[in-house]
A = this chain, B = another copy of it.
C-alpha cells in the first residue's frame, strides 16, 4: 500500500477498493460487512435505537486512547444510555491527502479492537479524501444501531424528586488527558483518558428489573454540569455532594493548576444515572461488578425545587452549577 493517503483513495476507483480490501475488510471482517454492498443488511428488531457522532479530537492519539477508540466508545455509549443493546456501527472517514498510511492503520486497528471489546460489528463504511489543507488529518463519523432486548424497560430520561444521582466512576479524566497532552503539561506519569465502551456495564444495571432507572447519560461535551443542567426540571433541584464526586488525584491536580472545575470537563468512560432511592445500592452493586464501574458512587440527589443545580461545598455553602457557556476546550471528542 502507499505510504500516504492521496486523493485517489477517495475516488471510488482502484485505490478506494485497495483501501477497503487490504485495510478495512481484514480489520472489521464480519458477515454483514463482507459482501461490500452499498447498504448492510441487518437483523433488526421491532424497536431499535439510532445515534450518530462525528469525532474531531486533537491530538489523534492521547494517553489512554485515540480517535478510533473514542469513535467506537462514544457512539456505543450513546446507544447504551438509551437502554438499547449496541449492535452495529457504520464508520465514515474524512481523510486529508497526505495522512500517513501507518497512522490510518493504527486508527483502524483501534476501531476494530474497541468494537470487539464492545461486542459491536462495523457493518458499513465510507471514505472521502479532501485536499491536504481542507481538513485536519482525519475526522470520523460513527453511527450506531442498538436493539432493545425483549422486556427491557426504556428509561424515560426524566428525573424525579427523591432520585439518587450516581456516577459510574472517576470524572473529568478524558478531558484532562487530552488537554494535558495538547498543552504538553508534562505530568509524569501522563494523565490517562478512561475512554471505553460501557454497553456491558449499563446492560448489567438494566438486566435487573428491580433497578428503576429514570435517566442515564454519558456526560461528554459540557461534562457532568451540562448533563445535570439538561436533566433538571422546573419543579426539581439537583444537589451534588461536592466532597464525594470522584476525581482521580492527578486529574484533580491538573484541574487545580489550570483553574478548571472537573464538573465541566468532558468524560468518555463515565455514565451518570438518576435512579429511585430504593434501588440505588443495588445499582451501585451492579456497576461495581464491571471493571469500568468499580468506583461507582452516589454523588447527589434530586429534590423538589425550581430547576437549580447546586453543589454542596466542603464548608457547607452552596455553589450554583450553570449550563456551560462558550467553549472551554474545542475538539475534545
**A47-B42, A78-B39 known; A135 and B139 CB under 8 Å?**
yes
Instruction: State which of B93, B124, B131, B217 has its C-beta within 8 Å of the C-beta of A330.
Output: B131
Instruction: State which of B16, B46, B136, B331 has its C-beta within 8 Å of the C-beta of A44.
Output: B46
Expressed in whole angstroms, the Cα–Cα distance for A44 and B157 within the complex equals 21
Which residues of chain A in 7-63 are interfacial with respect to chain B, using CB atoms and an 8 Å cutoff?
A: 7-8, 10-17, 35, 37-56
Which residues of chain A in 170-197 are interfacial with respect to chain B, using CB atoms and an 8 Å cutoff?
A: none
Q: Is the CB of A168 closer than 8 A to any CB of chain B?
A: no
Extra inter-chain contacts (4) besides given A37-B82, A40-B50, A41-B82, CB under 8 Å: A50-B90, A53-B92, A54-B92, A92-B141
In the complex, what residues of B have CB within 8 A of residue A41's CB? 47-49, 82, 84, 148, 154
A52 touches B328 (CB 8 A): no
A contacts with B, residue count (CB < 8 A): 80
B90 touches A327 (CB 8 A): no
B126 touches A54 (CB 8 A): yes
In the assembled complex, how far is the CB of residue A308 from the closest CB belonging to chain B, in whole angstroms? 16
* Residue of chain B at shortest CB distance from A324: B13
**A93-B54, A126-B53 known; A39 and B326 CB under 8 Å?**
no
Q: Which of A100-108, A219-227, A254-262, A288-296 contacts B (4 or more CB under 8 A)?
A: A219-227
| A-B residue pairs in contact (CB < 8 Å), sample of 21 | A12-B266, A16-B222, A38-B217, A38-B218, A39-B79, A40-B50, A41-B47, A41-B82, A41-B154, A44-B48, A48-B48, A48-B145, A50-B88, A50-B143, A54-B128, A90-B143, A94-B94, A94-B139, A131-B136, A134-B331, A135-B136
B12 touches A56 (CB 8 A): no
Expressed in whole angstroms, the Cα–Cα distance for A291 and B239 within the complex equals 60
For A138-149 the 0/1 string (1 means CB < 8 A from B) is: 010101111110
In the complex, what residues of B have CB within 8 A of residue A49's CB? 39-42
